[in-house]
Structure 1
Amino acid sequence: MHLTREEEKIYNGEFGESLETCMNLLVSLGDIYGAEKLVDIYSAQVSGVSYKTIGEKGLEFLKDLADNNIKISVPTTLNPAGMDLNRYKELNFPKDFAKKQIEIIDCFKKMEIEISCTCTPYLTGNVPIFGSHVAWAESSAVSYVNSVIGARTNREGGPSALAAAIIGKTPCYGYHLTENRVPTHIFEVDIELEDSISFYGILGRITGKIVKNKIPYFKFKNCDSIKTDYLKALGAALAASGGVALYHVENITPEAKLGILIEDVEKITIEKKDFEKEYDYFKTSEKPDLVCIGCPHCSLDEIKEVSEFIKKENKKFKIDVWVCTSIHMKAISDRMGYTKIIEDAGGKLVIDTCMVVAPIEDMGYKNVATNSGKAATYLPGFCNSNVIYGTTYEILKKATE
């Protein structure tokens, strides 16, 4: 890799051991993947926040950086933590877990990282411009920022995103290069599109397993626009089931609208039977003990949908219902009156976390109902949970029965 004179000084330890460690990590990644240089980044988004996922070794690593007074050099947001940082006692998160989680958050705070704790930073102010380079780590956020916004990032790990945030640069390889952003598969979706988060989650699960970590290009019949919430759900499920970091939708996503090059691409038709097979996978007679919406975190429209269900049905929830979102969205929800409607019905607007990175398996939850294709993919392995899958309406209905 070619390094500038200043980059060489950091690499050689002239600015301290901690910065040297970060630069060494970035240069090593660049060498592995054939990067010719580092590129300045617009922003970073750091994962590895929940104590459930990073454990004691991760906490020690963060303490080393924080104790050495290391600060980030570009705007940086934080992935969800393992608990609601405001209401963890009320929600009965384990005390020992909470103690460790607070220590992790304190480390990030010392590094001056925004304690936003959300997987949807693009809804809370971290919105790069088209074509800019970023270093984002959370899988669904990576998919969204690459695909829907058209910024450029690889699927970073927590340590590499943090190193990039501190140095302000990332190796220029992979999805940072135009030639690596072209489609590898075309999916012709031969089914009427449904107006639901769960539909796009299922589509993401189906196609993610086929394409794995390549680049799908979707063609929908008679479709001029799609809600961004549905693109969020599609990308999240693609990333969870197949490791997809970038996708295109004909006439919808920016690079597709600009006429991205498509040559010698495998074409696959997705039919009704493919959806039926995927839905069959989730058939169960189990009843949920937790209904959880917001993976990725709910937008304001998704929160509103829950409140409208409550107003229409006029029933209380008989089991725990979590509507997971960011502190930013909750603040607006509070003002709009949605939070009161949901919590008066027995639900909870839970911030900073979600069902996947929270220790729900230690909190007595076994059967989890969700409308998220991402959560449905991760819950069995991450939380040892049984999944009950359905639309927002279907799973909320189960909570009132």
Structure 2
Amino acid sequence: MHLTTKEEKILDGEEGKAKQKSMQILAALGDIYNADKLIPVTSAHVSGVSYKTIGDAGLEFLDDFAKDAKVCVKTTLNPCGMDLKNWKKQKIPVNFAKKQLKIIDCFKRMGVEESYTCVPYLTTNRPEFGEHISWAESSAVCFANSMLGARTNRESGISALASAIIGKTPNYGLHLDENRIAKVEVRVDARLNSTRDYSALGYMIGKKVGTRIPAFKFKRSVTEDQAKALSAALGVGSCGMFQIEGVTPENAADIESRISINDGDFNDYLKNFTFNKNKKKELIAVGCPHCSLNEIEEIAGLLKDKKVKKDFWICTSRQIKKLADERGFTEIVEKSGGKILCDTCMVVTPVEEIAERVIVNSAKAAYYLPGLAGVEAGFTDLDEMV
């Protein structure tokens, strides 16, 4: 990969250790993927924020990196391992909290925005069409490429942070026009009625298409919240972008294969997610990806004048929580016995400390919870959860 004179100097360490390490990471990626050059990015979104996922080794790396690292573009953070203001009420172990706060301090020292959400496009980091960005968090990558027409590869937390420090990313993959062409047409005749349904569809199709871009044809228009659920589940696999006829801003296609999904196909697939409803200590958790204001309003409507019988979490960003407070939704949720958590989600927090089974309406959460937390996951509709 070609480097400019200035980039070569950074690689040689003339602008400090952190910039040198960042350039080494980007140069290595560029060489691996045959990028021709580095291109400027307008923003970065960094994952690997929870102590649960990066551990002591990750904390040590960040602490060393933060000694002279500063981001030079708008940079937001993925959820961390706890609600930073209410971690005691969340029953987070003290040692975990101490380590998590050290990680947060590292990112603060680097100048990263304290967003702690997997849906930065709903808060302060919503790129415009055609912008080149460097984002980690597979669900956000898929949404940004597809619904917004921004351009990013599926970055790791480290490569996104390196881009944030240098302000550039290697020019390959989904940054290039020729790699943003749909190859698989997906005709959906099945009736999809809920977030759970779009999430299940995304997981189903993600397994079938791999790295290829699917072009969906739905019978009805798709809302942003439904597309958010679809993005998250598609991102569990290798898919980094999709198209929806009449919805997404890009629709270039060279169709090589076709998939049709009818009610029978879809209902048969949902049977894979049935779970044994024997007595276990359960947590109900919504918000993977983080809930939008509309979703919190819907949940508040379902919980109004009711009392929850189990721990009930709604995970969202600080900005959305503030709006929910102002509109009275938080009061309704809390009156029912539920909790709205910020900064974290059921996947990256130590949920195993309080539950043996977590009931979710997210295929992504259902996929990751058993491996990351060692708990059973139940996947169902929001109506059934309430």
Query: What TM-score comes out, normalization by structure 1 length?
Result: 0.94
State the match for 2:246 in structure 1: 251
CA distance in 2, matches of 1:81, 1:333: 21
Structure 2: state its 5+ residue gaps.
Answer: none
State the match for 1:238 in structure 2: 234
What letter is aligned with 2:241?
L
Are residues 1:308 and 2:304 paired?
A: no
SS at match of 2:117: coil
Are residues 1:226 and 2:222 paired?
A: yes
What letter is aligned with 1:294?
G
State the match for 1:54 in structure 2: 54
State the match for 1:183 in structure 2: 182
State the match for 2:195 in structure 1: 197
Say which of 251, 261, 271 aligns to 1:280.
271
Are residues 1:217 and 2:215 paired?
A: yes
For 1:95-114, what aligned pairs fall within 5 Å after superposition?
A: 95-114=94-113
For 1:354-373, what aligned pairs fall within 5 Å after superposition?
A: 354-361=345-352, 363-373=353-363
SS at match of 1:237: helix
How big is each residue's C-alpha offset from its partner over 1:346-366, in whole Å with a ceiling of 9 and x where there is no partner?
0000011111111111x1311
CA distance in 2, matches of 1:227, 1:59: 38
Question: Offset of 1:279 from its aligned partner?
Answer: 1.7
RMSD, matched Cα: 1.1
How big is each residue's C-alpha offset from its partner over 1:263-308, in whole Å with a ceiling of 9 and x where there is no partner?
2421111122322222212222325610000000000001101110
CA distance in 1, matches of 2:153, 2:270: 31
CA distance in 2, matches of 1:158, 1:145: 17
What letter is aligned with 2:222?
I
Say which of 290, 293, 317 aligns to 2:286.
293
SS at match of 2:331: helix
Are residues 1:318 and 2:309 paired?
A: yes
In the alignment, is the contact (CA less than 8 A) between 1:282 and 1:387 conserved in 2? no
CA distance in 2, matches of 1:154, 1:335: 36
How big is each residue's C-alpha offset from its partner over 1:198-223, in whole Å with a ceiling of 9 and x where there is no partner?
110110111011112221111112x3
In the alignment, is the contact (CA less than 8 A) between 1:307 and 1:342 conserved in 2? yes
For 1:1-400, what aligned pairs fall within 5 Å after superposition?
A: 1-68=1-68, 70-194=69-193, 196-221=194-219, 223=220, 225-240=221-236, 242-256=237-251, 260=252, 262-286=253-277, 289-311=282-304, 314-361=305-352, 363-396=353-386
What letter is aligned with 1:121?
P
Question: Offset of 1:67 from its aligned partner?
Answer: 2.0
CA distance in 2, matches of 1:192, 1:280: 16
Question: Offset of 1:184 from its aligned partner?
Answer: 2.0
CA distance in 2, matches of 1:161, 1:55: 19
CA distance in 2, matches of 1:177, 1:208: 21
CA distance in 1, matches of 2:245, 2:18: 45
How big is each residue's C-alpha offset from its partner over 1:199-252, in whole Å with a ceiling of 9 and x where there is no partner?
10110111011112221111112x3x3110000000100111x22110111111
SS at match of 1:322: strand
SS at match of 1:67: coil
Moved more, 281-290 or 40-49: 281-290
What letter is aligned with 1:181?
R
In the alignment, is the contact (CA less than 8 A) between 1:206 and 1:274 conserved in 2? no
In the alignment, is the contact (CA less than 8 A) between 1:389 and 1:395 conserved in 2? no
Structure 1: state its 5+ residue gaps.
Answer: 397-401
CA distance in 2, matches of 1:263, 1:89: 53
CA distance in 1, matches of 2:130, 2:246: 18
